[in-house]
Structures are given as C-alpha cells and as structure tokens.
Structure 1
C-alpha cells in the first residue's frame, strides 16, 4: 500500500501544492490549491498513484473506469490500465452539461469505478455518476487521489482516497484574503 509520506513526496516533487488566493470550483476561496494535474506530467507518478488506487478496488470486478474531464481523464486511463479494463471520461457539452461523448459507450449493467484527482464537494463526481446511471451502468465505487472533503464525501457507494488533506476554505463574502485586497485566481479547469 502506498503510504501518506510517499504521496506527499510525489506531491512535493511534482510541485502540486500551490499557495496564494484561489477561487475553487465550488466558488469558495482558499489560500492553498492542490494542482494534481501536475502529477500527471510524470508518467511514473501517475502510474504509481493510479495503481495504488486500483488496488483498493481490485475485488470489485470493474468493467470500466470513468473520470470527469479534465482532472479524471489521465487518471481514468492509468487506473483502467492497472485494472486491465477500459478507461473513459465524461465531459461538458456546449451547454455545460456533463455527458459521455466521442463514441464512448457504457453498456447497461456494466460495473463502473468513477475516479477523480481531488474531491472537495464531489460535484463533478456526482454529475459523472448521474451520466453513468442514466446509461444503465452500475457505479460500484469512487476513488480519488486526494480527499479534501474532510471525510464528508458521500456518493452512496464505497469511496477511497490515497490521502486526506485539510485545506481551509472560505465563503467569498467572508474571505480574509479578499478583505486584504488580494485578487483570487481560478486555477481549475471549470470556468
């Protein structure tokens, strides 16, 4: 099993933890941001992390691994590779609705593992789960590299992460960084 220390070592080498003033996808603000996409520029780190996550679901008989774009694209591929199965991703259409595109197919009854790099509120994961269910897939679990939800993530299926990281966040109306006049930047993939 991959240790917390090893995950943090990988994060340090890949320069994942950013400090400043950030607007999170949820709309909340934070003085720290985990840019896990930086891990995926190093194939050896992606392989190590995703193989460790796959191991946590090896007894679940997974048919396909699905990740929400953008953070879950490489992760779905690497996790699926470790599980010797298919890897797909869901993405937003022009209207902003999460959907399965590009000729990808989930057959009714297929057992699906949903993966995401960082889970904070779990919004993208929940959207991916709805797409899969609408197509008749059976979501058997959710996995992430980082759980930022303070243990509050509940998807109605087993959930596992490689590491829990507490990063303080603020409502924008009560953000101390905003009160200091520091502008917030939005480093995530969602507009």
Structure 2
C-alpha cells in the first residue's frame, strides 16, 4: 500500500509540473525561437515571468508556487519576496497557501531604506523564524544572496528558495546557478518545473515536437546533471 501511495503522489507532482509548462506556453511566458541569453548563448526558448501580468495569470501562477511548496515538505514559517519581481509572487503565494489551509505571514524588501513613516528596509511581517524566499528564476544568484544576507541580519533563518523554472544550465563553472546557491548556502532550491519537464512536455504535446530537437541539443551542450 505504501508503494502505491508514493507512486500516486509522484505522478500528481509530475502532472502539476507539466501543467505549469503548458500554462506558461499558453500565457506566452515560455516562447520558442532564437534568443540570446545574458551569457551570450543562443537559446531555443525564452522564459519571461514578467508576462504573468494580469489577475488571472497571477492567481494561477501563485497556485503553482503553493503546490510546489507543499510538495517539497520544506519546514517554513513565513515567505519573503525580493524586490521587485518577488513582491507579487510572495503576496500571491501567501494567498494561495491560505486557500490551501496554510496561513503564513510574508514580507518583502525595499531597494532603498525608508527614513520616514515606519522606516526600515522591509515591508510586511517581521522577519523571523524559518523564511522561504519566493523568486521567479535564479540567474547569477545576486537576488538570493542579498535576500539571505537581509534575512540573517534580522536574526531569521533562510530555509529555502522557490522559483518558477530551473533552466538547468551551466554558469561560470560546471554547476548551474541553482546548484551554486544550494552549495554556497546549504539550502534547498525548489523549482515549479525544470528544463527536463519542458523536454517531457515537448515530447508529449501535439504541435510542439518541432521544438524538441533544438531544446534537447541546447540541454546536451550547456546542461548540468540532475544532481
């Protein structure tokens, strides 16, 4: 019986990862073609989380974040959204978690400290306990590093990072940006979906197979191992 339950849970998790890829394609957040990355590579796909830019899209996106968090089993006490993209993500995810019966506080930072009113560099709940960082992607890891420093300076504990998509490609080393964050800060990074999930989607989705060979070739050339 235990094996059946585990298999079913795994299948449900994989399904929502595929559902997220499908949703991102439908929203034109995930596009295919030829795009130049910050590293100067020509990528056959492009993911722009900024295009989740209306109420319905943000609601659905937040539900995917909540599903990924609950499936990860990471113990946490509150959410933190790095300015700027992380702000609506943390707020939306807090709402989605509350709808799932898990009501947690959240806060976000300002780019510049406020010297009047309530003052300070953060807005929302006080940073305390185990803090889960909510962001869109990890590129150079700068946003995560700054968030971790801010959280620790407040006496709280960064316990993980949740992102929308892990591109699973090498950075300046043989490791990906996600792997470097996990190694450097000893915290888990949980993506809603990964490049491997995208490949699985392309293999099984009618009308998308034409993009499969280009994405697979990119994965073969620049990708990291799953570890």
TM-score by length of 2: 0.59
Matched, 1:101 2:101: no
1:128 aligns with one of 136, 143, 147: 147
1:45 aligns with one of 52, 60, 72: 60
Give the drift of 1:79: 2.1
Whose strand fraction is larger, Structure 1's or Structure 2's?
Answer: 1
Give the drift of 1:30: 4.5
The residue number in structure 2 matching 1:74 is: 88
Give the drift of 1:88: 1.6
Contact 2:50 2:85 in 1 (8 A): yes
Q: Larger relative CO (CA 8 A, sep 6+): 1 or 2?
A: 1
SS in 2 for 1:157: coil
Whose helix fraction is larger, Structure 1's or Structure 2's?
Answer: 2
Larger radius of gyration between Structure 1 and Structure 2:
2
2:49 aligns with one of 33, 36, 41: 36
Gaps of 5+ in 2: 1-12, 114-119, 170-174, 197-214, 219-227
Give the drift of 1:135: 1.1
Aligned length: 160
Question: Over aligned residues, Cα RMSD in angstroms?
Answer: 2.9
> Structure 2 CA distance, aligned partners of 1:162 and 1:57?
10
> Structure 1 CA distance, aligned partners of 2:112 and 2:150?
12
> Structure 2 CA distance, aligned partners of 1:149 and 1:101?
32
Question: Given the superposition, is the C-alpha separation of residues 93 and 21 from structure 1 closer, same or farther in structure 2, using an over 3 Å criterion?
Answer: farther
Post-superposition Cα deviations, 1:139-169, rounded to whole Å, max 9, x if no partner, equal: 111111111243732241122111112786x
1:161 aligns with one of 162, 175, 191: 191
Give the drift of 1:6: 0.6
Q: Which runs of 4+ in 1 moved over 6 A?
A: none
Give the drift of 1:59: 5.1
Gaps of 5+ in 1: 95-99, 169-191
Give the drift of 1:70: 2.0
Question: Given the superposition, is the C-alpha separation of residues 92 and 148 from structure 1 closer, same or farther in structure 2, using an over 3 Å criterion?
Answer: farther
Give the drift of 1:15: 0.6
